[in-house]
Homo-oligomer: A and B are copies of this chain.
């Protein structure tokens, strides 16, 4: 079996230079890197990353922690995260909060991950505390838990929400309903609060019996829609906690033959690829999910390189996109 000493001999450099060149150490010159790469290629040498983990104390693995792997939002997040981590020549280990068999904080610790992207939705999680205690770098994705400060990639909701409220006013809707996320999810409550506040500035108020809570899933949208539309006077527009919930609501409308937007308008959040599907044609407040994923991954790698740097929050803008569900 070819090893790094063989590569060093052929390239005419030391073994430690081979090792540094192959892991992309920036102190190795471009010329040396090419020499080493050519020698490795000629000999068919493939570096052993487990061995590398030993010598560097790093594993080249990043954890992505999500709430639920069956949820359509997370499906759309995984690809962009894997792509960006791949550009950093690391791998993604997938972890789900709802795995019943696992003690997630201890598993993350025992895996020796180089860092973790926290894309779970709940604020009452013990995970950030545990990771900080063990000095494991992490970044918040699309949320902040104020109790444990850390780097964060988040959305500035102002632009998108303001344009949504303008659209509601323009259409003359008077009865605004909302299918909100779980009460312990920052992402959802933050969205709802800004939305309600901007509405209030326009003298539009959302009564409590026009608000229902669910869990960001298709069934939550189905049930929330049914519930709101069974009020004696149903809403004329429904704000959904995210696009997945809105997709559930449109399915319910289909079942009960309620016309969207003629009988009730619907709006989501996230601008997932599904929102563009003609069958949904969902108006929604969106953001650049691929970019947010890339920002989160990059923040995490900066943190790994500079553990002592000040924490950074990077905000991406939101936008409102008009489709058929809210004209």
Contact = CB atoms under 8 A, between A and B. Distances in A.
Contacts of A273: 70, 218
Contacts of A47: 110
Interface in A81-127: 82-83, 86-87, 91-96, 99, 101-102, 106, 109-112
A255 interface: yes
A53 B204 CA distance: 60
Nearest to A222: B278
Contact of A94 (B48, B49, B94): B94
A277 interface: yes
B46 A110 contact: yes
Contacts of A93: 61, 91-93
A255 B99 CA distance: 40
A95 B83 CA distance: 9
Interface in A259-307: 273, 277-280
A183 interface: no
Interface residues of A, number: 46
A82 to B, nearest CB: 5
A69 interface: yes
A169 interface: no
A309 interface: no
Nearest to A218: B277
Contact of A109 (B46, B61, B70, B92): B46
Interface stretch (A71-79, A150-158, A160-168, A193-201): A71-79
A109 to B, nearest CB: 5
B86 A101 contact: yes
Contacts of A280: 279
B70 A79 contact: yes
Nearest to A59: B50
A79 B86 contact: no
A4 to B, nearest CB: 12
A75 B109 CA distance: 26
Contact of A82 (B49, B54, B69): B69
B86 A99 contact: yes
Interface in A34-73: 46-50, 53-54, 59, 61, 69-70, 72
A242 interface: no
Given A69-B82, A87-B101, 17 more contacts: A46-B106, A47-B110, A49-B111, A50-B53, A50-B54, A50-B59, A50-B112, A53-B53, A75-B78, A83-B99, A86-B99, A91-B111, A92-B94, A218-B273, A250-B279, A252-B278, A279-B279
Interface of A: 46-50, 53-54, 59, 61, 69-70, 72, 75-76, 78-79, 82-83, 86-87, 91-96, 99, 101-102, 106, 109-112, 218, 247, 250-252, 254-255, 273, 277-280
